[in-house]
Chain A
Amino acid sequence: MQAWSAKSGIPMGASFPVSALWKLAQLWFHDRLSPTWRRRTIDEAHAVFTQAGLTGAFWTLDG
């Protein structure tokens, strides 16, 4: 991953298991087809990231 970052010039960000990504996708998209769906607030988004096991500064949205 670091070799790729150096070669591509794209900074190292966050890497995590595909299982965590699936959890994130389920939490994020499960209700997208509901007529009552709305964009999450920052706090709600943070709660989703935490529930998917994604924590730390990388996952902090602006206030």
Chain B
Amino acid sequence: MIVPVPGFDTTVRLAIQRAFIDGRPTPSVATVAAELRARASDVASAFDRLAAGHVIVLAPDTHDIVMSAPFAGRPTNFAVTIGTSLYHANCVWDALGVAAMLAGAGQRVDAEVRTSCADCGAPVTVHVRGGAVSADPVSSVAHFAVPAARWWTDIVFT
């Protein structure tokens, strides 16, 4: 049974998010431990608990972060530009989530999400301006293939 350590796990979670927000490389156990001046073993355990709780996603048998929603740990086809910062998201929901998360924290956010049509590969851009969203081409729609009940069956595919 995995027992959460609420305060420390939150500290680790927020350190992970801050690394992404600041545009630093995908955080690791070592970088988070150094930042928090914590033992690497304690941070690794926190990573495991966060992964077990579906807060982050780790590559199998590693502590390498694949996802810390809304951020992707590796480049993806969902690039989010906010000012001079470039982020990679796990999907178009997460891509808009980057903007929503920063706006929720009090930042004024105008964003561009660049992706491509899953069918024809044509570029698709979603703009966030003044709290409103628009898409180019305007005919763009969002599509989720996997029903909600099965999202975590294979979250990377989802």
Please count how many residues in chain A sit with their CB below 8 Å of the partner chain's CB atoms. 37
Please count how many residues in chain B sit with their CB below 8 Å of the partner chain's CB atoms. 38
Query: For chain A residues 6-59, which have a beta carbon within 8 Å of chain B?
Result: 7-8, 10-22, 24-26, 28-33, 35, 39, 45, 49, 57-59
A8 → B minimal CB distance (Å): 7
**B residues within 8 A CB of A12?**
145
**A residues within 8 A CB of B126?**
18
Question: Would you call B99 an interface residue if the criterion is a C-beta within 8 Å of the partner chain's C-beta atoms?
Answer: yes
- Nearest opposing residue in chain A for B127, CB measure: A18
Question: Would you call B17 an interface residue if the criterion is a C-beta within 8 Å of the partner chain's C-beta atoms?
Answer: yes
B binding-site residues for A, Cβ under 8 Å: 10, 14, 17, 53-55, 69-70, 92-94, 96-105, 118-119, 126, 128, 133-135, 140-149
